[in-house]
Amino acid sequence: MKEKEFFYELGKIIYQIDGIYETYGRHCHLTSPNLLWILYALNDGREHSQKQICDDWLIPRSTANTIIKELEEKGYLSLHQIKGKRRELNVSLTQSGKEYANQLLEDLYLKEKSVYQKIHNPELTLQTLKELVQNLQIISKQKIERSK
């Protein structure tokens, strides 16, 4: 396979994966595809700031704020002030939020696990894809700077 063909196929696959996750979320009656990703991010058992979620998942801050407020009103998550940071909050799932996220994401986790078991070197695969992201960010920033 040639380089251009590889990236063409990779682009299609990435777009298809994104679309399938979005469709899955819609079938779970989620109001936004970003809601799925926020629950996915928070369900890893670690603390995350709202800023970190937005930066990691490229979710607009206003969108994340709206979703987080909705989840907080439903009792699915709680917000905690980060020491030394006036305007930044940690977001974490409550017990009912963990149950909701696990129920919602269970089928995804099972399918992901079956694919993960077929990846020969997961660390190298992630490292390589992260390198692609970094390089794409560089050219994206260059385009933005040139257009100013």
Mean pLDDT taken over the chain: 93
For 3-117, the fitting CATH number among 1.10.10.10, 3.40.50.10210, 1.10.3470.10, 1.10.3720.10 is: 1.10.10.10
Taking the CA of residue 106 as centre, how many other CA atoms within 13 Å lie in the half-sphere pointing to its CB?
Answer: 6
Distance CA 44, CA 98 (A): 10
Does the model's pTM come out above 0.95?
A: no
| Residue 128 pLDDT | 96
Classify residue 57 by burial, with Cβ atoms within 10 Å: 0-12, 13-18, 19+. middle
Residue range 13-59, pLDDT digits in tens: 999 999 999 999 999 999 888 999 999 999 998 889 999 999 999 99
